[in-house]
Amino acid sequence: MKAAIFRGVNQPLTIEEVEIDRPLPREVVVRTAATGVCHSDLHFIEGSYPAAIPGILGHEPAGIVEEVGSQVTYLKPGDHVVGCLSVFCGTCEQCLTGHPYRCSQTPRRHPSDPPRLRFPDGTPIGQVSNLSAYAEKMLVHENALVKIDPSIPLDVAALVGCGVTTGLGAVFHTAKVTPGSTVAVFGVGGVGLAAVQGARLAGARRIIAVDLDPHKLETAKQLGATDLVDAAEGDPVTEIHQLTGGGVDFAFEAIGLPRTAEQAFLSTGRGGVATIIGMIPVGAVVTIPGSLLLTERKLQGSGMGSNRFRVDVPRYLELYQQGRLKLDEMITRRIRLDEINSAFDALRSHQGVRSVVVFD
């Protein structure tokens, strides 16, 4: 099969032939139908986060089950599925206390087992994020997959594998936005637009979108933002305080920069909560005024939207089917696998919202 190979930091991905192993008892082979190009993979390419080299990136997929291991009972060939990187074991303390997204024993192959992915000469290939979706097929643990309604277009369903689940979950599960509250979202790319929609669905009365890109801000308005703040034209914190008369109840940072994380915290009012969704680079430090903690402002992180993806994904897709969650509007363009590097160029230049790789 063909896959896009990550061979080094700041190097373009290369399309190469790779081989996939047969599934072990609890593993599943999925024919990849579509996968979103998420900014998180750009972090790996640029070296902000470590990833296996050589490896296959991609973690926002949807596809069709082709083969299942002997002990798999949840899925069968022909099922339509969405893949999620927060693979859970179901038996550790985190899983058993309702936090599968924080699983401490993520299922992986034993070192003595053959690699899931390899080059034709037998050289192993790293499976990044336990999925490696930039490939025509995936071999994953069954707990990386959720079955979905086959009537849902798979290119649309793919978005829920990461960005949408992360943004909505940060609103619903991590921050628990309340009806009638005020919300600010810093960065309205794929994850940020999901947070905007989550705030709308949660009943926030005012949703302030903050970005440097006028086109993304306009999309945010179409998807539920009540106010737009162009951060290129002034201090967004000052403008948010002016708009709300003292700061928002909930702020979300969906970029992954220390500066915008600090701005999100500073944009909250007394008792407000700032939730950091973006992947802040390893080693970077976020600095906040300690005195503001006396006003019961809070700064917290969100791990992929605190998801329970086998519960959340079908619910989010049902909202899509009802017309209440807008997903088609978040897809900027559909591309082939051999155009993958152009999608990362678009991310670097802040063009569009989401590119989706569609396989034949």
| Tens place of pLDDT per residue across the chain (360 aa) | 999 999 999 999 999 999 999 999 999 999 999 999 999 999 999 999 999 999 999 999 999 999 999 999 999 999 999 999 999 999 999 999 999 999 999 999 999 999 999 999 999 999 999 999 999 999 999 999 999 999 999 999 999 999 999 999 999 999 999 999 999 999 999 999 999 999 999 999 999 999 999 999 999 999 999 999 999 999 999 999 999 999 999 999 999 999 999 999 999 999 999 999 999 999 999 999 999 999 999 999 999 999 999 999 999 999 999 999 999 999 999 999 999 999 999 999 988 899 999 998
What pTM, to 2 d.p., does this model score?
Answer: 0.96
* Per-residue confidence (pLDDT) for residue 169, from 0 to 100: 98
CATH code 3.40.50.720 region(s) in the chain: 167-303
Q: Which residues are catalytic?
A: 38, 40, 43, 59, 162
CATH 3.90.180.10 domain range(s) in the chain? 2-161+327-358
Architecture in CATH for domain 167-303: 3-Layer(aba) Sandwich (3.40)
CATH 3.50.50.60 correct for 2-161+327-358: no
Tokens of 9: 């930091």
By DSSP bridging, strand 80-83 and strand 145-147 are antiparallel
Among 337, 311, 181, CA closest to 252: 181
Decide: residue 49, CB within 10 A, 0-12 exposed, 13-18 middle, 19+ buried: middle
